[in-house]
Amino acid sequence: MNVDDLDRILGNDEEIEPSSGLVDAVMYAVLEEAEAPPALRFPWRRFVIGTGSALAALVAGVTLTWVGGWPASATSPLTVESLLQDPALHTYVLPGATLLLTLAIGGLSVRALRNGG
């Protein structure tokens, strides 16, 4: 194609008509798009609850695994280290706190699901 052919094509005053059914097809597509339900939004609340529960489980697991040692003797002063080494902490307090935290997160997730989360 050369410049003369291009000038002849662009200089033509013929009206261009759409193919039959094009207008109907476009209008049908527009109406279908207008009637389509809105896109689903990302469930951020569920994501945050799930991520929070995973982090809580990780922290509880690390705490129960790494915080340990021998119980404090009766003659040693009361310090944070002696409290962390108390066997009652590992037997009752930390598992109980983990259980309460798990129940609280579960309650939040159930509440979020009921509210349409």
Shared domain for 31 and 72, answered yes or no, is no
Residues of the domain holding 66? 44-114
Shared domain for 58 and 101, answered yes or no, is yes
Q: How many domains does the chain have?
A: 2
**Block means of pLDDT (10 residues each) for the chain, length 117 residues?**
81 77 91 88 84 80 61 57 68 76 78 70
Shared domain for 30 and 54, answered yes or no, is no
Shared domain for 61 and 108, answered yes or no, is yes
Model-level pTM? 0.36
What pLDDT score does 31 carry?
92
What pLDDT score does 29 carry?
92
Inter-residue contact 91 to 64 (CB < 8 Å): no
